[in-house]
Amino acid sequence: MTKINLKILAHELGVSVSTVSKALQDSYEISQETKDKVRSLARKLNFQPNPYASSLRRHQTRTIAVIVPEIANNFFALAINGIESIAQEKGYHVLIYLTHDSYEKEKSICEHLQSGRIDGVLMSVTTETQEYEHIAKLMDKGILLVFFDRVRHEIETAKVTTDDFVSGLSATEHLIQNGAKRIAYLSLSPNLSIDYKRKAGYLEGLHKYNISQAPELIVECTNNDEEAYQRIKALLTSPHRPDGVFASVEKLATIAYAVCQELSLQIPQDVKLICFSNLKIAALLSPSLSTITQPAFEIGKEAASILFQHLDRKRASIPNENIVLKSILVPRASSQGETLMI
């Protein structure tokens, strides 16, 4: 167990600590010869300068935090993949924090993050998030923030999202064009940006086709899977069962699917189902399901790029901006086609 530091290197080479430091940073003040000497020894001992000592001096950590509700969700997993790839490229390090969709946890994580551990945050808020003082406090400490997917428009900063309204509209039209007349919307939480935008698209879709919206067809599902299951079951056993279901998020589609199986409802004969999903396997395994796929990887990359750009330029804050990427509707029919590979 050999701990190396500048001092040891300096001693070994018979030069001063600051010379070694400068040499490793390729400073113009140091002769080529000395640089070579220093570097070859550093490589030989595989020395890496202590990043925390360096952070302390430089007042920057080259570390960001990613705060998401969950990770076993292909959208977030893919987004993190995008984030990590840009981070690796730009020499940043990525800390992961999961809120499990709890506001309390989100708050507590943000509070811990005021310590100077990170330069910036990429965040997708919880469905419970109503206030955002915890986020304001973070920004007050000079920590840059970029939202992605589940954003809060009340906070001034960059936000990377998908065209939720448009795709909500497309999804609804898709169901209508496939013959659905009574279309239900499964909502996760009305105070979630992605949810109310998709719902607005849904409403617009109905309106466009002169279909009146029956209030009982909008089902508020909570984060509680059991409860969601019961509510969807109630919906699908009601006298006027819908013939189309639009699940606003992947999890609700899964639950709706399970309910259909329990009730022996055929998809898409009895009920047509469309959902937001980034599981290629879902489209693949189930020819009965239409899906809307978000460019999750690109969202992650885009959000990270914006953050790193502003960090590298040492900006004090990120101007308000909405970056909207397009999702892709994968209709049932072509689900078996070319979009196969993961």
Partner DNA sequence: CTGTTAGCGCGTTCAA
Partner DNA sequence: TTGAACGCGCTAACAG
Q: Given the rule CB under 8 A, which residues bind its own copies?
A: 1-3, 46, 48-53, 55-56, 61, 63, 66, 70-74, 77-78, 80-81, 84-85, 88, 93-98, 105, 111-112, 114-117, 137, 140-142, 225-226, 229, 251, 254-255, 257-258, 261, 279-282, 284-286, 289, 316, 336, 340-342
Supply the minimum distance, in Å, between the C-beta of residue 213 and its own copies: 29
Say which entry of its own copies, DNA, none residue 314 contacts (CB below 5 to 8 A, set by partner kind). Answer: none
Q: What distance in Å separates the CA atoms of residue 121 and residue 159, rounded to the nearest whole number?
A: 12
Fill in the per-residue mask, 10 to 39: x = in contact with DNA (CB under 7 A), - = not in contact: ----xxxxxx-xx-xx--xxxxxxx-----
Q: 8: buried, middle or exposed (CB in 10 Å: 19+, 13-18, 0-12)? A: middle
Nearer to DNA (CB atom), residue 34 or residue 230 = 34
Whose Cβ is closer to its own copies: residue 132's or residue 229's?
Answer: 229
The phi and psi torsions of 237 (rounded to 5 degrees) equal -105, 0
31 touches, from DNA, its own copies, none (C-beta below 5 to 8 Å by class): DNA
Question: How far, in Å, CA of 120 to CA of 238, rounded?
Answer: 49
Residue placing its CB nearer to DNA in the complex, 29 or 227 = 29
- Closer to DNA by Cβ: residue 58 or 240: 58
Which of 11, 36, 45, 54 binds DNA (CB under 7 A)? It is 54
Distance CA 316, CA 140 (A): 10
Nearest residue (CB) to its own copies, 98 versus 211: 98
Residue 44: exposure state from Cβ atoms within 10 A (0-12, 13-18, ≥19): exposed
Question: How many angstroms separate the Cα of 205 from the Cα of each of 44, 182, 268?
Answer: 65, 12, 20
Q: Which C-beta is closer to its own copies: that of 62 or that of 150?
A: 62
Backbone angles phi, psi at 135, to 5 degrees: -75, -40
Nearest approach, Cβ of 224 to its own copies (angstroms)? 11
Q: Which is nearer to its own copies, 210 or 316 (CB)?
A: 316
Is 42 a residue that touches DNA (CB under 7 A)? Answer: no
Q: Which is nearer to DNA, 34 or 222 (CB)?
A: 34
Query: What does DSSP say about strands 183-187 and 328-330: parallel, antiparallel, or unpaired?
Result: unpaired
Using the minimum distance from each CB to DNA, give the nearer residue, 21 or 102: 21
Assign 3-class secondary structure to 292-314. EECCHHHHHHHHHHHHHHHHHCC
The three-state (H, E, C) secondary structure of 19-79, written as one string: HHHHHHCCCCCCCHHHHHHHHHHHHHCCCCCCHHHHHHHHCCCCEEEEEECCCCCHHHHHH
At 97, which helix (H) or strand (E)?
A: strand 93-98
For helices 103-112 and 133-140, give the axis angle rounded to 10 degrees.
10
330 bridge partner residues: 291
**Interface with DNA by CB under 7 A: which range of 3-11, 80-88, 257-265, 276-284?**
3-11
Closest approach of Cβ 63 to DNA, in Å? Answer: 15
Nearest distance from C-beta of residue 36 to DNA, angstroms? 10
Which does residue 17 bind out of its own copies, DNA, none, counting CB within 5 to 8 angstroms by kind?
DNA
Q: What is the DSSP string of 147-174?
A: EESS--TTS-SEEEEE-HHHHHHHHHHH
Decide which of DNA, its own copies, none touches 254; Cβ closer than 5 to 8 Å per partner kind.
its own copies
Shortest distance (Å) from residue 49 CB to DNA: 4
The dihedral over CA atoms of 73, 78, 83, 87, expressed in degrees to the nearest 10, equals 120
Binding at 28: pick from DNA, its own copies, none (beta carbon under 5-8 Å per type): DNA
CB 144, CB 307: distance < 8 Å: yes
Please give the residue ranges that form the binding site for DNA (CB under 7 A): 3, 5-7, 14-19, 21-22, 24-25, 28-34, 49-50, 53-54, 56-59
